[in-house]
């Protein structure tokens, strides 16, 4: 059986990698649209990245059945899954649309804020509230940007709000684990 902190550390690392992947995808989408690069970003950026990361995550999830079971038992699981699906639809809409991109991405950021609150439910901590507020601020910033720049603002928001804190948490967990093994 895998140690709980080890499983938590790996889950945080997987979430950090997904955040980094989306940061990369949204940044590249901004660059493709800003400089009108003659490539199909849906195929060459989004589909390839998400397919490879999705397979890796699925393999990891099959190995980590206890984590999957814990997620499925979450009291707000169906609401979070529905809201997550809505966010995916909004992001897909923004990728396929020529106009109204900032509105779709701002709604997606708002959805991420709400998900943050739902995941922690009654056990809200200042960190969770701060992340939720950060996504609301990001939504306002995205709403006030021009069409291609909205992708870059969303990418920066993912990096600052999701990737950096999770990566720092992963490093802290690993450092604590290494320190305890050295003792």
User: Hey, what long-range contacts does 17-24 have (CB within 8 A, 24 or more apart)?
Assistant: 17/53, 18/53, 18/57, 19/158, 19/159, 19/162, 19/163, 19/166, 20/159, 20/163, 20/167, 21/49, 21/50, 21/53, 22/155, 22/158, 22/162, 23/155, 23/156, 23/158, 23/159, 23/163, 24/49, 24/155
pTM: 0.84
- Is the pLDDT at 146 greater than 70, yes or no? yes
Predicted confidence (pLDDT) per residue in 106-133, tens digit:
999 999 999 989 888 778 889 889 999 9
- The answer, yes or no, to whether residue 13 has pLDDT greater than 60, is yes
């Amino acid at each position: 059986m895998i140690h709980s902190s080890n499983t938590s550390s790996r889950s945080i690392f997987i979430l950090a990698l997904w955040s980094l992947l989306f940061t990369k995808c949204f940044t590249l989408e901004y660059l493709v649209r800003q400089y009108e690069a003659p490539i199909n970003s849906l195929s060459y950026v989004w589909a390839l990245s998400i397919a490879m990361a999705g397979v890796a995550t699925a393999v990891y999830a099959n190995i980590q059945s206890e984590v999957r079971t814990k997620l499925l038992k979450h009291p707000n699981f169906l609401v979070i899954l529905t809201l997550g699906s809505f966010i995916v639809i909004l992001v897909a809409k923004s990728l396929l649309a020529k106009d109204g991109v900032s509105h779709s991405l701002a709604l997606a950021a708002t959805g991420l804020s709400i998900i943050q609150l739902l995941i922690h439910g009654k056990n809200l901590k200042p960190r969770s509230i701060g992340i939720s507020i950060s996504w609301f601020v990001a939504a306002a910033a995205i709403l006030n940007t021009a069409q291609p720049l909205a992708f870059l603002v969303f990418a920066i928001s993912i990096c600052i709000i999701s990737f950096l804190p999770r990566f720092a948490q992963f490093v802290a967990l690993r450092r604590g684990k290494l320190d305890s093994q050295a003792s």
